[in-house]
Every structure is written in structure tokens, then in C-alpha cells.
Amino acid sequence: MSSIGGIAADAGILVEAYDDAGLAQRFPYLGFPAGTRGYFEPQHAGYISPRRLVRAQTIAAQRAGARIIAEPALGISESATGVTIRTRSGDVEVERVLVAAGGHTQSLLGQSLGFVVYARTAAMFRLDAAEVQRLAGMPSMRCFGPKGADPYILPPILYPDGQTWLKLGGDPVDIPLESEGNIQDWFRSGGSIPVAEGLEAQLLERIPGLQIEERRVVPCMTTFGTTGLPRIGPLSDRVTVAFGCYGKSAKCSDELGRLGSMALLGENHGVLAA
């Protein structure tokens, strides 16, 4: 927490600092254990809609001249003259390729790059209009507890199904997904019910009296290395990778993508790799 306060001060980010009593006064619908300290960003902070983010990035790419092929890449092979990307509808021949496939990257390339893919479970809770109104103004939260219960919690958000859901995640243990088959099996499994139950208990501690209409369990995954840095850089003259998100790629994706394309073009100055 002291690091967060220092970073905010160094970067000139406006934050409001609260002790447990101040948090209770500022956010009366939330519950905080004694001794809690919090930083609240009242401006330029919040949550990201993955659907809108991907749509916006796709439109930006098309405006810049990109051709979008909305199919999974099934395999990549490199030759002396170029790179072949295999899809269900045929091969795509390119001069160079940037592989930014998250947890699928290593299996797509057929080689280990020193990162581990972990299963993750998120839980979503449908709220009625009264609860949505009661929690109006609720911030996005990243919680850190003394016993390793460190969930992220999003405020009530209206989803494409027309319902308002409150989402949180935070797995107590790391379960590695060691192959593409493991990844596919995990997403077909629907996620971990015990993890979701633990998340629900944590949510009820932090929002006392929360009235839940329905719970959904959502499987997810993330990719971790040993340094805390993503892997951004060339594997060969024609294949470059950008992956290894540690669960942070959505909010950083514009900049990570820029660094990946710099690496693809050979502009390696300032590009970090792990």
C-alpha cells in the first residue's frame, strides 16, 4: 500500500487516502476490517469493457489498413521466404508475424518460452434494481488482505444480456494448464465452484447485506513468468511474440501492442522482454 501511495505521488495521480473510519464514511455500503487503509482515485480510473475495447481496437486497425480474418489460428510455420498461418478456411501467407495470443501463445508456436498458464475463476452476481441503486457510485476495487484473500471487485455493470452483474475474481491457488488440451478442457468445465463460493463469501464480507439474485461461474486464464515482465521481442527474423500478462494486459493492451509492433519492425529501443 505504501508503494501505491508513492507511485501516485511520483506520477501526479490524484488520490484520496483513507483509514478504516474514513473508508466507512466515504463508502457506507462497503465493509472494511479494522486497520484497513485505502486509496481512491476519483478521476481517470474505473473499469474496462473488454468487448468495447476489442471493437475499438479492431476499428482502429481497419482504419489503418488492416485486414481482419475472424478465425482461430491453428498453427504457424516459418520458412526462408515467409510465415504461414494455418486456419480452417486456408493458409495465410505473410512476411512476418507478431504472435499475441495470450495463454495460447506457447502451444500455437509449439515451444515453451518459460511462462506458465494458470486457470482462473471469476464469479458474477446478478443484482436487482434496488441493489444497483444502493451501490451507485461504487468504485472498482483491488483488495489486499493479510490472509491472501486479494480479490478484484467490479461495481455493478449493465451487460449485453440486459442484466446488471457485479463481478470479482481472485483464486487462492495456482492450477497450471500445461497444454492446449488442458486449456480447452478448463474452459469447457465452467470454472471452479469452490473458488466461486469462496469469492462469494469474500464479496459478502465487503458488501454487507448484499442481495444476490443469481450467481454465474466464469472460467478464465492468465500467464505468468518469473520476472514480472511480459515477453516482448523477436524469436527469429520473422516471428515476434508479445505475451505474458500476469493478469494485467487488458488495461495495458494499447501500449503492449505498440511495443510488440515496434519489436516486429526491429525498433527494439525501449522494448522490455523477460
123 and 93 in one domain? Answer: no
If pLDDT is split at 50, 70 and 90, which confidence band does 10 have? very high
- Do 153 and 82 fall into the same domain? no
Q: Cβ distance 119 to 177 under 8 Å?
A: yes
**Over 60: is that where the pLDDT of 217 sits?**
yes
67 occurs within a structural domain: yes
Domain count, the chain: 3
Give yes or no: residues 83 and 170 share one domain: no
Q: Is residue 270, in this structure, part of any structural domain at all?
A: no
Three-state DSSP at 4 gives helix
| pLDDT value of residue 201 | 94
Q: Is the residue at 210 inside a domain?
A: yes
Judged by average pLDDT, the poorest of 45-54, 123-132, 191-200 is: 45-54
User: Given a cut of 70, is residue 270 above it in pLDDT?
Assistant: no
Residue 271 domain-assigned (yes or no): no
Structure confidence at residue 25 (pLDDT)? 95
pLDDT at 269 over 70: no
Query: pLDDT value at position 209?
Result: 95
At 208, is the pLDDT very low, low, confident or very high (cuts 50, 70, 90)? very high
The CB density around residue 175, as the number of other CB atoms within 10 Å, is 15
Q: At 53, is the pLDDT very low, low, confident or very high (cuts 50, 70, 90)?
A: very high
Q: Is residue 272 part of a domain?
A: no
How far apart, in whole angstroms, are the C-alpha atoms of residue 99 and residue 135?
Answer: 41
Is 150 a member of any domain?
yes
| Same-domain check for residues 98 and 120 | no
pLDDT band at 157 (very low <50, low <70, confident <90, very high): very high
205 is a domain residue: yes
Domain shared by 155 and 245, yes or no: no
Looking at the structure, do residues 156 and 236 belong to the same domain, yes or no? no
Q: Would you state the torsion angle of the CA atoms of residues 150, 139, 221, 91, taken in this order, to the nearest 10 degrees?
A: -160
Q: How far apart are CA 186 and CA 195, in angstroms?
A: 14
- Judge if 133 and 216 occupy the same domain: yes
Domain co-membership, 130 together with 206:
yes
pLDDT for the residue 150: 87
Task: Label residue 250 by pLDDT band (50, 70, 90).
Answer: confident
| Segments forming the whole domain that contains residue 91 | 59-106+232-264
> Do 38 and 75 share a domain, yes or no?
no
Q: What is the pLDDT of residue 14?
A: 95
Query: Based on the domain organization, do 217 and 248 belong to the same domain?
Result: no
The pLDDT value recorded for residue 272 is 58
Q: What CATH number has the domain bearing residue 84?
A: 3.50.50.60
Q: What's the average model confidence in pLDDT over 72-96? A: 95
Residues 172 and 140 in one domain: yes
pLDDT of residue 271: 54
Q: Are residues 171 and 152 in the same domain?
A: yes
- Give the CA distances from residue 179 to residues 87, 99, 111, 118, 120, in Å, rounded to whole numbers and listed in that order: 20, 17, 11, 11, 15
* Domain presence at residue 51: no
The mean predicted confidence, pLDDT, of the chain is 93
Cα–Cα distance for residue pair 62/21, rounded to 1 Å: 50
